[in-house]
């Protein structure tokens, strides 16, 4: 399940160039105005019986089509934190390229983090890993994951895996997608094995280099092909 309390975004780094949601060939291209959606309060909405519309024991991917830490959402984020605090029966996954803004609008009772919040930091290349991940690890967060997506080159995550629960890797999707090399994926997987961190190869991307040859993969087959390679290390972890 996905929850998008606001919509709209804009580029911040190389990984945004062909964004599946706001990139040059997406339906929402040019939608840079950040606005609340009609699902802003979705997690705390109740039905006529007074029950939550969203039942507990769910994983709710939050702001995966925008960015949770956009400056335009600083005031709204205070309300969102309150909803997250209320719904302790839901695991919220928050993914961001703006980890440098993590401390902005942080709730006063955050402490070392909420038990039901997973914060994910996106990195697409080594430069962004070296820039974002030291900050990511310096913040008070109980549950952390790294998303190498879109993976644009080989990345060494080794210095940054202590304290991280999980790593997701995925290629870039779209007609202008850049190549994702399977050797890069396997290298990150090996880093996770050594660090005892779970690993998920989410999708191949549209241009997938495998066994020395670059293949063009249909968007609807990218997730399935990644799964068929059988390299995931999940140890019972639920995926989003």
DSSP readout, 166-182? EEEEE---STTPPPEEH
Q: How much is the pTM? A: 0.95
Structure confidence at residue 240 (pLDDT): 64
Which stretches of 43-169 are DSSP H helices?
Answer: 74-86, 126-138
Cis status of the peptide bond prior to 150, with omega within 30 of 0? yes
pLDDT at 227: 97
pLDDT of residue 26: 75
Burial bucket for residue 144 (CB in 10 Å: 0-12, 13-18, 19+)? buried
- Based on C-alpha coordinates, what's the Rg of the chain? 18
pLDDT at 101: 98
Token pair listed for 150: 């879109």
pLDDT value at residue 34: 96
CA–CA distance, 214 with 96 (Å, rounded to integer): 29
pLDDT in tens, 82-139: 999 999 999 999 999 999 999 999 999 999 999 999 999 999 999 999 999 999 999 9
Taking alpha carbons only, the member of 189, 215, 212 closest to residue 201 is: 189
Maximal CA-CA distance, the chain: 59
Task: List, for the chain, all residue ranges whose pLDDT scores fall below the cut of 70.
Answer: 240
- Interatomic CA distance for residues 37 and 168, integer angstroms: 27
**The Cα angle at residue 42 between residues 31 and 73, in degrees rounded to 5:** 45
Q: Between vectors from CA 128 to CA 59 and to CA 16, what angle results, nearest 5°?
A: 65
The strand pairing partners of 58, in sequence order, are 90
CA distance 59 to 240: 7
């Amino acid at each position: 399940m996905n929850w998008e309390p606001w919509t709209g975004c804009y580029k911040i780094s190389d990984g945004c160039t062909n964004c599946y949601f706001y990139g040059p060939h997406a339906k929402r291209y040019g939608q840079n105005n950040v606005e609340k959606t009609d699902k802003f309060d979705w997690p705390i909405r109740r039905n006529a019986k007074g029950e939550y519309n969203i039942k507990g024991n769910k994983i709710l991917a939050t702001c995966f089509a925008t960015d949770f830490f956009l400056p335009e959402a600083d005031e709204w984020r205070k309300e969102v934190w309150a909803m997250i605090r209320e719904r302790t029966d839901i695991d919220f996954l928050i993914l961001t390229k703006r980890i440098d803004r993590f401390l902005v609008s942080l709730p006063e009772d955050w402490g070392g983090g909420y038990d039901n919040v997973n914060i994910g930091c996106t990195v697409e290349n080594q430069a962004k890993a070296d820039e974002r991940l030291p900050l990511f690890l310096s913040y008070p967060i109980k549950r952390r994951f790294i998303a190498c997506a879109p993976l644009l080159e080989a990345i060494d995550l080794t210095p940054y895996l202590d304290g991280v629960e999980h790593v997701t890797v995925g290629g870039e999707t779209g007609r202008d997608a850049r190549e994702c090399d399977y050797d890069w994926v396997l290298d990150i997987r090996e880093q996770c094995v050594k660090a005892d961190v779970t690993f998920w190869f989410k999708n191949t991307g549209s241009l997938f280099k495998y066994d020395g040859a670059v293949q063009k993969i249909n968007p609807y087959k990218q997730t399935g092909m990644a799964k068929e390679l059988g390299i995931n290390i999940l140890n019972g972890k639920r995926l989003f």
